[in-house]
Structure 1
Amino acid sequence: MSDAWVAGAVDAGSGEAGPVRPLVAASWRRSVRARVSLEGAARVELDEEELAAYRDGHPLSAAMPVIRELMGTYATDGEHLLAVCDSAGRMLWVEGHPGTLRKARAMNFVAGARWSESAAGTNAPGTAIAVDRPVQVVAAEHFRRPVRAWTCAAAPLHDPLSGRVIGAVDITGGDRLAHPHSLGFVQAVARAAESQLALLGPPERPGGIRLSALGRDEAVLSLAGRRVRLSRRHSEILVLLAHRPEGVGGEELLTLLYEDESVTPVTLRAELSRLRALLGPDVLRSRPYRLAGVVDADFATVDRRLASGAVSAAAGEYAGPLLPASLAPGVVRLRERLADRLRAALVDRGDPGLLADWAYSAWGEEDVVVWRALCSAVPSPQLPPVRARLDSLEAELTAGATGSQRTGAHPRR
């Protein structure tokens, strides 16, 4: 069914996809936009030595005993596979029935392979990470032809403190998994794994404030044992104040927040009053506006990692652009500055794994600079699919620039 859709039998622009579930149709569209081929297998990026070192240091290694206890016997007895991947869709563990493991190798469903949606098309673990919700993908709902004999269900795994996605847990097998119980099962396993991580993780600092604003339009604030999802405007205010711990005057904050110069200080004071009621008077102070106590902001952590030269750590902490939908001038400048610094550091480092994480992300799928760097960095056996992606991207950019010039518009950069 996806062949016909990709060929144009279904109008992607209309949003109509016949009997296809909306979640699957949306995933197919993202797969097409990411230039995923209908044929081929996932790319294996980590050899045994690299994989062992990477997963030993990954936070999900602490959850594996619980995941194996809950899923191991079920997977082996049912001729299924249990799999756990990182937030970039790289498989860290693939275990289960020996015969099923052998069959899965034909499509590179193996540890060390990248199964993100942007790299391998619609599949349960990759799509669960992309949409941050549990997902079941049945047979022909998979984007790539070689995967359509399989059925899988996966749920994202979150860091218990920040709430950001750090991976996914998946059950993969045949038609017997095409049942709603499979989805409920992996959801329960994911919740148990997250609970285990919370028990083993460091406690929150008393009086500490944690702000997570990367890769999300609405920031999450962890404060005094509670987590608060903020509105978009409150998210912008807290990002700006976290960036300026010394405080910001009212007039300056107004210019940092609003594109429209006609917005009055009364509007800003009303927003700050609502935010103070939400957080408490001891957290948000005035004259100048500032946050009390130490704020642990995820975007500031990435900035510190870059400043110290820890590029790999910075890339690992980067969950996406800072408040990506925000148009607040001050946030836009922070977002672009951080992304530009990290991109430049990745290109300069030339590490194929780090470059691939960026290139196959939602924010990097059209970043021609990074795709060119990745082409120069990957080993020869892995080059053909990367080269094909880059050629396709450059052709589209050239065509777009030519079309813009014909109509007198500025060429796309």
Structure 2
Amino acid sequence: MAITGLRIGPEDMSVGPEDMSVGREHTNEIGNAYDLHEVHPLQPLLPLLAQPLAHIADESAHMMVVTDADGWVLWREGNPDAATRREVHVYSEESLMRVLHVQSRSAAPIIDPDTDRVLGCVDISAVDLSGTARSPHPATVALVCATAKLAETQLALRMHERDERLRRRYEALGGHPGILLSQTGRVLSGDPLGTLGERLPLPAPGERMILRDGRFVLLEPFSDGYLLRAAPPTSAPASAPTHLRLHGFLGEGSPTALVGEHRLPLSLRHAEILALLALHPSGLNAEQLSFHLYGDAGNPVTIRVEIHRLRAELGDTIGARPYRLTSPIEADFLELRGLLANSDPASLARVYAGPLLPRSESPEIRRERDEFEVQVRTCLLLRGSPDDLWAYAQTSGGREDFEVLQRLATSLPATDHRAAAAQARLRA
């Protein structure tokens, strides 16, 4: 029995097509919320899940529910006393609503082996209207896990069958022209040494991209997947990849991006996004970027809007699926990271103008900022000359650093103005 227009979540949930359009991008693409179960990747597996579990759910006064990743019900079966057609509630003592404490629930996610994303959820509920169903039966946890694993196994089998069909078509071409990718970017053939990894971010069809070994390739549709073929050589200067240079990300400077000859002043939010993409060269999706910028309070929709604005300014230097920097990049904080790996105190003191984006409240930027600060300070205290320490003492982190100032006051001649300045700061 397929049920759509019904959602399992922490809030009160009602049935009705008028509620389905809010915040549901893929529902809008389908056109009708009640057709959701017909196009979902789990739909072919619903009979398989129903056969072993439907009679158990009915005889034990349980209800089994299969949802998509957002909690919308794809299929429901079980005892009719466990729920109505209008509402589904999560009963347990952990619920925020006291009225829901008469039902216990166990659930397990179904992970797509192709994309590693959550496709949906298997949920089993036990209800006792006398109010004594305080905890789930010990077998229910194992039951939902086994059911979810059954679905994942079937998905993996179907994925391998698709991959094998695609490989046979690829081998029929002869000579293995190019690199064979699945629709989701998994490398299936053409990379015998495994230098490309298991998955590649997919550019738009016909778009040039650079592989790890420096080769330029083009993405072409092929059957149910893609081929990466060598890009034709070109001598036109305009075809060379545009360099992206990021300046002013360390210290109190104003962050700017230089694309070719175009200089773009950056807002703090755009500087944060570019810094995160530079620090994660394999790319981040909207949800990951949102979490790195805002934590749990993030909204991926906001990220998509900001990326759209950035791409309008920076052009094809930002790729999609996932979001990533597609151009060769130079940045002061990336240079600093390289210098830290080499433990070169003189160069560190020259490059380190201060903390990474000091006004940023992004959790990920703060983590990177603190790591840079600790590593730079430690390296300079262990190996830095008085000149190096004095340069660090001009940054916001080193201006009142007691240990750095004390080292300067004792290592420099008393006639050196830097020793006097360090003594003054220590007294203050």
- TM-score, normalization by structure 2: 0.41
Query: Which structure has greater helix proportion?
Result: 1
- TM-score, normalization by structure 1: 0.42
